[in-house]
Structure 1
Amino acid sequence: MKSSDGASKGLNACEEALKRILDGKPVVPEHVGLDLSKLTASIVSLEAGFDRGYLKKSRKTHLPILAKIEACRAEANKGSGSYNGKIIKRLEDKLVLLEKELAMVCSQRDKVLTQNLQLWARVRELELAERQNKSRRVRLHH
C-alpha cells in the first residue's frame, strides 16, 4: 500500500507542478515564461521535483496527466498563431507610442538647446559690454 501512496503523492506533486506552470508561477527558474507549446512531461517532472523521466506512458496512473500535458501543448500550438499575432500587434502599437514620445522629447531637447545657446550668446555680449565699460571708466578716471 505504501508504494501506491507514494505514487499518488508523486502524481499530486506533478498535478500541482502542471498547475503552477499553466498559471505562470513555476518554482523552477527555467520554467518561468515557458512557451506552452514546448511543454513536456519531463518539464512537469522537473517542476515537481523529480527527474526528467518520472512521468511515463507505461504507468497507467500517469496517463491522465500525460494527456493533460499533451492537450495543453496542442492547444498552445493551435492558438499560437493568433496569440503571437496579438503580441506582435501590441508591441507594434507600443513602438508607435514610443516613437511619438521620442519625437516629442527630441523636439523639447532641441528647443532647450536653442534657448541655452541664445542665453550663452547674450551672456557673452553682456560680459563684453561690461569689459568695455570698465575700460572706458578707467580711461576717464586717468
Structure 2
Amino acid sequence: MKQKSTGKGLIICEEALQRLVAGKPYVAEHVGLPLSKLTAGAVSREAGFDPGYLKKNRKSHLPLIAKIQSLREGSSNNPKSTNADRVAYLERKLAALEVRLVMANELRDKVLTQNLQLWERVRKLEAEESHVYRIN
C-alpha cells in the first residue's frame, strides 16, 4: 500500500514540475521562478508537500530529482538566462510580497477593529453588571 501513495506522490510532483517549467505554478512564491532556481524542495512545495518530500535516498525519487537537476543545470548554461531575467524574477517576487503585505495589513486592521469593538462591548457589559449589583 505504501508504494501506491508514493507513486501518487511522484505523479503529483511530476505535474508540479510541469507547471513550474510551463510557468504556471499554483504556489504564489513560485510565480516567475527561473529554472536556474528550480529545486526538489520547490517542486515538493508546488505539489503540496513539505520541502523535504523528494529525497535522494528514495530510489523511486531519483529519476525526478535527476530531471530537476538537469533542468536547473541546463538553464544555468543557457545564455538567455541573464541578470535581466533574475532582476525580472526578483521584481515579480517583490510585487507578490507587496500584495501579501497589503493583505496582511488589511487583515490586521480588521482584527484590531473587531478587538476594539469587543473590548468596548465587554466594558459596557461590565458597567451594566456593576450597576445591577449596586441596585440589589
Length-normalised TM-score, structure 1? 0.57
- Per-residue deviation at 1:85? 8.0
Whether 1:24 and 2:23 are equivalent positions in the alignment is yes
Letter aligned with residue 59 of structure 1: R
- Aligned pair count? 85
User: Considering only aligned residues, what root-mean-square deviation do their CA atoms show, in Å?
Assistant: 1.6
Q: Which has the higher contact order (CA 8 A, sep 6+)?
A: 2
Residue in structure 2 matched with residue 55 of structure 1 by the alignment:
54
**What are the equivalent positions in structure 2 for 1:16-95 lying under 5 Å apart?**
16-79=15-78, 81-84=79-82
Tell me the CA shift for residue 46 of structure 1. 0.2
Which one-letter code corresponds to 1:71 in the other structure? S
Distance 1:42 1:67 in 2: 13
Deviation at 1:83?
A: 3.8
Q: Which has the larger radius of gyration?
A: 1
Alpha-carbon shift at residue 70 of structure 1 (Å): 0.1
Task: Please list every run of 5 or more consecutive structure 1 residues that lacks an aligned counterpart in the other structure.
Answer: 88-142
Q: Which residue of 2 aligns with 1:109?
A: none
Separation in structure 2 between the aligned mates of residue 33 and residue 86 of structure 1, nearest angstrom:
13
How many Å apart are 1:35 and its aligned residue? Answer: 1.3
Higher helix proportion: 1
1:91-110 residue pairs with structure 2 within 5 A? none
Q: Distance in 2 between matches of 1:36 and 1:19?
A: 12
The answer for unaligned runs of 5 or more in structure 2 is: 86-136
Distance change in 2, residues 1:27/1:85 (3 Å): closer
Structure 2 Cα separation of the partners of residues 7 and 45 of structure 1: 13
Alignment-mate amino acid for residue 45 of structure 2: L
Cα gap change, 1:83/1:53 in structure 2, threshold over 3 Å: closer, same or farther? closer
Q: Give the C-alpha shift of residue 52 in structure 1.
A: 0.5
The 1:57–1:85 alpha-carbon spacing in structure 2 relative to 1, beyond 3 Å, is closer
**1:13 lines up with 2:24 in the alignment:** no
- Over 3 Å counting, the alpha-carbon distance change for 1:15 and 1:84 in structure 2 is same
